[in-house]
A and B are shown apart, each in its own frame.
Chain A
Amino acid sequence: MKMDHLPPNVTRRWPLLDILLTLLSLSVPAALALALTYPPPEITQGQAHRIFYIHVPIAWVALYAPILSAICGILFLLKRSIAFDQWSVAANRIALLFSLGVVISGPIWAKAIWGVYWDWTDERLMSFFILLLSLGGYFYARSLIASPERRARIGAILSIVAALSAITTWFAIRLVEPQQHPGSLLGAMAPSIRLTFWLNILAFHFFFLALFRVALRHEKIRSLEKSP
């Protein structure tokens, strides 16, 4: 497909970066294979505890990405450069994707261990649900605004709201007295569990970077289509 007519910020290629990110993304299946085989089954949760190696890393990314998006949103408000808006949208798109991953993997684990899919009284679960709603609202509001400049401005403000929601969730997990959702276990893991956990965290962050690059390029191309 000829791309001579596209601006250089879309057609510019970074082959080394792309190869590196693709290779690093392959660490996700490797880390998952490790999670399925290396740590012994946990005595109270059995094999279901291995969901933790998927659920927690994607939850971390789902909480970081809105903060990255908000930083780009603030930069847009200061500089008025549409590139920052594109970065902000790409980060929130990955945040929404990973948040959906969290609300899929979390209830499956909860059903296996608690016997119910969701607890509407748990502050941690509810704060994450509000984050998901904030991200959904961000994209819905953007879809309603025709003017690119106004869409980017409102988007920047909503990305800050989503980031505040992500920060609230982060602290809710650490500070609020646990009801159902377990608290942070970072200091209380067996060596095999700790090693597997950190390798999965690292792998999913590499995957986030690769997905972010794909989403950013997609957003740049979409903005070209919308422009007259």
Chain B
Amino acid sequence: MNLIRLTLLVVFATAALQADPIERANALQQARDFLKLAPQAQKDAAQKLSAREAEALKTQIIALRAKQNPDLLSLDYVITQLSTISALEVAQSRLNSLLWTIVLTFVLLVGFLAYVLYDQRRTLAALSARAQTPLPPPISTPVPRTKARPAPRKSKR
């Protein structure tokens, strides 16, 4: 645990040494302003931050609060690890959902196109075969037999 604390301290110290003093002062002031916000306003403000800005803000907040609570660095490390495990699992599950949606939509649309093209080709072949087949001879219908009309009688004069 001490090793982790020492590593984090070195990382933060190096970052602090490399940072421009004026920028660092501004960033600290921003962190102070952020902490003064109401919880809902903090959430709204956090949603607008980029990943880099969020990381910078987090570093400044920890730097501010670490003076009051020396265990904050190790506590932050543990909390970050735990929330990362959960976040990774959720992110992977959401990514899987997205991939399933893309794959199934693709299969559905391509399947429809394939069915239409196949069925169209089959129907055209059937129509072509039907057109080339000679028509069967007409079925001769039996003529109903009728009694022969008697010849008209010649009038006897």
Beta-carbon nearest neighbor of A44 in chain B: B47
> Count the B residues whose beta carbon is within 8 Å of the partner chain — how many?
29
The interface bits of chain B over 114-125 (1 if a CB of A lies within 8 angstroms of the residue's CB, else 0) are 001101110111
Contacts A1-B125, A3-B124, A222-B123 given; does A214 touch B113 at CB 8 Å: yes
> B151 on the interface (CB 8 Å rule)?
no
The interface bits of chain B over 78-103 (1 if a CB of A lies within 8 angstroms of the residue's CB, else 0) are 00000000000011011101101110
CB of A100 within 8 A of CB of B108, answer yes
Main secondary structure on chain A at its contact with chain B? helix
CB of A211 within 8 A of CB of B47, answer no
**Residues of chain A within 8 A of B101, CB atoms compared:** 51, 54-55, 104-105, 108-109
> B77 on the interface (CB 8 Å rule)?
no
CB of A5 within 8 A of CB of B97, answer no
| Other-chain contact of B90, A46, A221, A224 (Cβ < 8 Å) | A46
Stretch at the interface among B7-15, B27-35, B58-66, B126-134: B126-134
> B104 on the interface (CB 8 Å rule)?
yes
> A48 on the interface (CB 8 Å rule)?
yes
Beta-carbon nearest neighbor of A104 in chain B: B104
| Other-chain contact of A47, B98, B104, B113, B117 (Cβ < 8 Å) | B98
A108 to chain B, nearest CB (A): 5
**Residues of chain B within 8 A of A55, CB atoms compared:** 101
State the CA gap A51–B104 with chains docked (Å): 12
B128 to chain A, nearest CB (A): 6
CB of A58 within 8 A of CB of B127, answer no
CB of B127 within 8 A of CB of A221, answer yes
B84 to chain A, nearest CB (A): 14
Beta-carbon nearest neighbor of B121 in chain A: A1
Contacts A47-B94, A48-B98 given; does A97 touch B109 at CB 8 Å: yes
**Residues of chain A within 8 A of B100, CB atoms compared:** 108
> B42 on the interface (CB 8 Å rule)?
no
> A32 on the interface (CB 8 Å rule)?
yes
State the CA gap A59–B76 with chains docked (Å): 44
CB of B126 within 8 A of CB of A2, answer no
A-B CB contact pairs (8 Å), 13 listed = A1-B125, A46-B95, A47-B95, A54-B101, A54-B105, A97-B109, A105-B104, A109-B97, A211-B112, A214-B113, A215-B116, A217-B120, A225-B127
Closest 7 CB pairs of A and B: A5-B131, A48-B94, A112-B97, A46-B94, A105-B101, A47-B94, A218-B116
Instruction: Name 12 extra pairs, CB < 8 A, besides A46-B91, A207-B109.
Output: A1-B124, A3-B124, A46-B94, A97-B109, A104-B105, A108-B100, A108-B104, A112-B94, A112-B97, A211-B109, A218-B119, A224-B127
